C-alpha cells in the first residue's frame, strides 16, 4: 500500500469478492477517498457465470462501507479483445491464458480509462501483488503471500498503469484478508474464492467450447504411429493432460497412465505416451510478443540470466534469455521443463521483481527424447 493516500481519490475495482472488499476497507483506513467500480464482462444468463450475484455482493459491501458504487459493462470490449483471442488460440491447437489479456486490455486498459473519467487519481484492485519505484521507474513485485501471488497474470500491464495502481493486499497473507473481513462484518467474509474464467464458470469446458468452435474428432496415436483411440477435437486437450483420454486398460499396453505429449494439427492427431516420459520435457522455447515492465534488461541481446515460470504457481526456474527479431525471445532452461504448452506465457523474474513475459510459441525437446514425433522446431533449431 502506498503511504500517501490521505484524501486522494482512488477508484477501486470491486468484484463482489472478499479480496476487493477488504481492499476497500484498507483504503478507507489509509484515508483515501474511495469510489468503487464494478464491471460486467459477460452477459450470458445461463446460471454458470455469477455476474448478477457478484454485482449484488458489491452493492452490499458498498452499503456497509458507505462507498459510492459505479457499474460499467465491458462485455463488448471483452469479447473483442479477450474472448476472440481465446477462441482463435484454441482453434489452432494452442492453450491460451485469457486472464493475462483481461488484465492488460480490460482491467488496466478500458477499466482504468473509465476510472480516470470518474476523477480517480489512482486505481486499486484486490490483486495479490506489490509495486515499488526503483531508479525512478515503477516495478512489479511478488506478493508477500507467494501462494496467492498474481504477478504472473499482471506481467503484461504497462509500467505507466502500474505507477498509478495500488494493491492494498500485496503485503498480506490470505488468512489475514479473511480475518479482516470477519472483523469488519463484511457480508462476503466467507464467500468462496472465484476460480477459473467467468464465461466458463462451473460448466463443462468441452460443452462450452463446442458452442463456439466446431468439434473435429481424430485419432489418438502413440509416438510410433500406432492408433490407440479417438479424440473429440485437439482444442479440448493440452500437453501433460492425463484425464479424459479414454484409453486406459489396453491389452497391448502397460498399466501406466497415458499423457498427451504433442498435437499434430496437420494430421489432426493427438499424440500420447505412457508413464514418466521424456516426451513431456522441453529444454528451451521460443516466445513471441515479449512484454517488459518498463524497459527490457540492458544485456538481453547478449543473453541474460534470470528466473522464469511457464505456468502459474510453478516454482521459479533458472534460465537463459536472449532477444530475437520481432519482439521474440529464446529461453533455455537449466533443467528441462515438463508439459510446456504453446499459447501459455513464460514470465521472467529477478528475485521478487517481475520483469515481464512473452507468449510461448515453439518448444524444443531434448535431442534424444522422441524426435520421431516432433515437427521441425523452426528457428529454435541450432540454439543451445
Q: What residues does CATH 2.40.30.10 cover in the chain? A: 279-380
Q: What is the DSSP string of 172-238?
A: --HHHHHHHHHHTT-TTTTPPPP-S-TTTTTS-HHHHHHTTS----EEEE-TTS-EEEEES-GGG--
pLDDT at 380: 46
Distance, in Å, from the CA atom of 73 to the CA atom of 57, rounded to the nearest integer, reads 17
Residue-level pLDDT at 370: 45
The answer to whether residue 102 is catalytic is yes
Provide CATH 3.40.50.620 ranges for the chain.
9-183
Question: What pLDDT is attached to residue 372?
Answer: 39
The domain 279-380: what is its CATH number?
2.40.30.10
Q: Where in the chain is the domain with CATH 2.30.30.280?
A: 215-276
pLDDT of residue 376: 36
Q: With CA atoms as reference, report the closest residue to 40 among 59, 10, 15.
A: 15
Identify the CATH class of 9-183. alpha beta
pTM over cut 0.75: yes
- Tally of CA atoms within 13 A in the half-sphere of 18 that contains its CB: 21
The grid coordinates of residue 150 equal 498474481
Which residue in the list 102, 306, 319, 354 is annotated as catalytic?
Answer: 102
Tens of pLDDT along the chain (384 residues)? Answer: 555 898 899 999 999 999 999 999 999 999 999 999 999 988 776 666 778 889 999 999 999 999 999 999 999 999 999 999 999 999 998 999 999 999 999 999 999 999 999 999 999 999 999 999 998 899 999 999 999 999 999 999 999 999 999 999 999 999 999 999 999 999 999 998 876 666 676 678 888 899 999 989 999 999 999 999 999 999 999 999 999 999 977 877 888 999 999 999 999 999 999 998 999 999 999 999 999 998 888 889 899 999 999 999 999 999 999 999 999 999 999 999 999 999 999 999 999 999 999 999 999 987 554 443 444 334 443 343
CATH fold of 215-276: SH3 type barrels. (2.30.30)
Collapsing DSSP states into helix, strand and coil, what is residue 51?
A: helix
pLDDT value for 205:
85
- Looking at 198, 306, 319, 354, which residue is catalytic? 198
Pairing of strands 269-274, 304-309: unpaired
Give the pLDDT score at 241: 95
Q: What is the pLDDT of residue 177?
A: 98
Whether 198 is catalytic is yes
Amino acid at each position: 500500500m502506498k503511504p500517501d493516500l490521505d484524501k486522494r481519490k482512488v477508484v477501486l475495482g470491486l468484484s463482489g469478492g472478499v479480496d476487493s472488499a477488504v481492499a476497500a476497507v484498507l483504503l478507507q483506513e489509509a484515508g483515501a477517498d474511495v469510489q468503487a467500480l464494478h464491471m460486467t464482462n459477460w452477459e450470458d444468463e445461463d446460471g454458470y457465470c455469477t455476474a448478477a450475484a457478484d454485482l449484488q455482493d458489491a452493492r452490499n459491501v458498498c452499503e456497509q462501507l458507505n462507498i459510492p458504487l459505479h457499474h460499467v459493462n465491458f462485455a463488448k470490449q471483452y469479447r473483442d479483445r479477450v474472448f476472440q483471442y481465446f477462441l482463435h488460440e484454441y482453434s489452432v491447437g494452442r492453450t491460451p491464458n485469457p486472464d493475462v489479456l483481461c488484465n492488460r486490455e480490460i482491467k488496466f486498459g478500458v477499466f482504468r480509462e473509465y476510472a480516470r473519467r470518474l476523477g480517480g487519481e489512482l486505481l486499486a484492485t484486490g490483486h495479490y501483488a506489490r509495486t515499488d519505484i526503483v531508479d525512478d521507474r515503477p516495478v512489479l513485485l511478488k506478493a508477500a503471500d507467494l501462494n496467492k501471488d498474481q504477478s504472473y497474470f499482471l506481467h503484461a500491464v504497462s509500467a505507466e498503469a502500474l505507477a498509478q495502481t495500488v494493491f492494498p493486499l500485496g503485503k498480506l497473507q490470505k488468512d489475514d484478508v479473511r480475518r479482516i473481513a470477519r472483523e469488519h462484518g463484511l457480508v462476503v467474509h466467507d464467500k468462496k474464492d472465484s476460480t477459473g474464467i467467468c464465461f466458463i464458470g462451473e460448466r463443462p469446458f468441452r460443452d462450452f467450447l463446442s458452442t463456439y468452435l466446431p468439434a473435429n474428432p481424430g485419432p489418438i496415436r502413440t509416438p510410433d504411429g500406432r492408433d490407440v483411440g479417438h479424440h473429440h477435437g485437439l482444442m479440448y486437450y493440452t500437453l501433460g493432460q492425463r484425464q479424459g483420454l479414454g484409453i486406459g486398460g489396453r491389452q497391448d499396453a502397460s498399466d501406466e497412465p497415458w499423457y498427451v505429449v504433442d498435437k499434430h494439427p496437420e494430421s489432426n492427431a493427438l499424440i500420447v505416451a505412457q508413464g514418466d516420459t521424456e516426451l513431456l520435457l522441453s529444454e528451451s522455447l521460443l516466445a513471441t510478443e515479449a512484454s517488459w515492465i518498463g524497459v527490457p534488461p540492458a544485456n538481453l541481446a547478449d543473453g541474460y540470466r534470470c528466473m522464469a515460470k511457464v505456468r502459474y504457481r510453478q516454482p521459479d526456474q533458472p534460465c537463459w534469455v536472449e532477444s530475437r527479431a520481432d519482439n521474440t525471445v529464446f529461453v533455455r532452461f537449466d533443467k528441462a521443463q515438463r508439459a510446456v504448452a504453446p499459447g501459455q506465457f513464460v514470465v521472467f523474474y529477478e528475485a521478487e521483481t517481475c520483469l515481464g513475459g512473452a507468449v510461448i510459441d515453439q518448444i524444443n525437446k531434448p535431442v534424444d527424447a522422441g524426435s520421431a514425433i516432433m515437427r521441425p522446431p523452426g528457428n529454435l533449431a541450432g540454439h543451445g
